[in-house]
Amino acid sequence: MFASDRYDWPSAVSPPRSTTSSRGPAHWQIALPGVRGADAEQLLDDLAALPRYESAVTCDAVELEFSDPNFGYVREGVDRRGRFAASGDSLELHLTFVNRVVDRYRNLVTLCEQKALRWNGLNGEDSGATFAGGPILIHVSREIDDLDMFADELTSCREPFRLWSDVTTTQHGREIAAVDLHVGQPLQFDIGKHWMRIYLREGYCGNTIARLISNLQHRFDGALRLADPALERAVQGPLAAR
């Protein structure tokens, strides 16, 4: 199942490694292996529009260039694991880029935590409580052919997911009561042929959800979508947007 450090799901189309670069605030370029130039972005869009390949189109890293007459120049890169590389003569522009990435990730984590299942107490000691929160629903663009194999691979305790779980078969799919071994945090979700529902408990970190979404995008389906519009914008919105 492993080739070098890249993991391939059963029947998955291996994702291409791609890099996104920008020269200035409005001009974007996509660089695929062996492909360079202003039309590379169109090529990536064309590949993503093909049903056979849309789930395999994913970005491993982004690279941008910023220049300002007052602050200088910097060339920035960040990969999907949050590792930064920079060259140039502007510390201010570098810090601006890092803060933008961190703020975007923080926003995603916060939105996930706002969906946590919880009880909100009413006014008064004996007045009861109301239930709040709900599942984070993910739609996958490619059918999960074998739910048992998918669940086994997802919860094998290995990298990149590092989930340990108990899997239960239901009429509509699989129920998973898992533990995120990165942080020792419980996590529950349901899996169907075309969807996943993830349940986060109150008080637990939304980083577990963000990590799971990132790994699913990179390893299984680059075209997955989140049903909640705010979460979808947080995941898919352009990095350079202010």
Neighbours of 92 (CB within 10 A): 13
Bridge partners for 96 per DSSP: none
Give the domain extent around 167. Answer: 114-236
Task: Decide the pairing of beta strands 136-139 and 225-226.
Answer: antiparallel
76 belongs to a structural domain: yes
pLDDT at 123: 74
Examine the pLDDT at 237 and tell me if it is beyond 90: no
Task: Decide the pairing of beta strands 129-132 and 61-68.
Answer: unpaired
Question: Do 133 and 225 fall into the same domain?
Answer: yes
If you average pLDDT over residues 139-147, what whole number do you get? 91
Where residue 37 falls among pLDDT bands split at 50, 70, 90? Answer: low
Question: Do 17 and 70 fall into the same domain?
Answer: yes
Question: Do 123 and 97 fall into the same domain?
Answer: no
For the stretch 230-237, contacts whose Cβ atoms lie closer than 8 Å and that sit 24 or more positions apart, written own/partner, are 230/111, 231/108, 231/111, 231/112, 231/115, 231/136, 234/104, 234/107, 234/108, 234/111, 235/108, 237/104
17 within 8 A of 28, measured Cβ to Cβ: no
The helix-helix angle for 207-219 and 91-114 (nearest 10°) equals 100
Q: How far apart are the C-alpha atoms of 98 and 121, rounded to whole Å?
A: 39
218 belongs to a structural domain: yes
Give per-residue pLDDT as tens, 194-233. 999 999 999 999 999 999 998 998 888 888 999 999 999 9
Question: Do 198 and 131 fall into the same domain?
Answer: yes
Examine the pLDDT at 178 and tell me if it is beyond 70: yes
If you average pLDDT over residues 154-161, what whole number do you get? 90
Question: Looking at 64, 89, 107, which one is the last position of a domain?
Answer: 107
If you average pLDDT over residues 186-190, what whole number do you get? 93
Question: Looking at 82, 107, 132, which one is the last position of a domain?
Answer: 107
Under DSSP, the state recorded for 35 is: B
Question: Do 33 and 60 fall into the same domain?
Answer: yes
Examine the pLDDT at 24 and tell me if it is beyond 50: no
Give per-residue pLDDT as tens, 81-122. 888 989 999 999 999 999 988 999 999 999 999 999 988 877
**For residues 183-200, b (16+ Cβ closer than 10 Å) or e, as one string?**
eebebbbbbbeebbbbbb
pTM for this predicted structure: 0.73
17 belongs to a structural domain: yes
Closest CA to 218 of 1, 59, 94: 59
155 within 8 A of 147, measured Cβ to Cβ: no
Question: Do 72 and 132 fall into the same domain?
Answer: no
Question: Do 58 and 136 fall into the same domain?
Answer: no
Average pLDDT, the chain: 79
Q: How far apart are the first and last CA of the chain?
A: 40
241 belongs to a structural domain: no
Question: Looking at 43, 78, 107, which one is the last position of a domain?
Answer: 107
58 belongs to a structural domain: yes
Question: Do 84 and 126 fall into the same domain?
Answer: no
242 belongs to a structural domain: no
Question: Do 170 and 85 fall into the same domain?
Answer: no
Better-scored residue on pLDDT, 8 or 75: 75
CATH classification at residue 198: 3.30.160.110
pLDDT at 50: 72
Tally of structural domains, the chain: 2
Helices (H) and strands (E) in the chain, counts: 5, 15
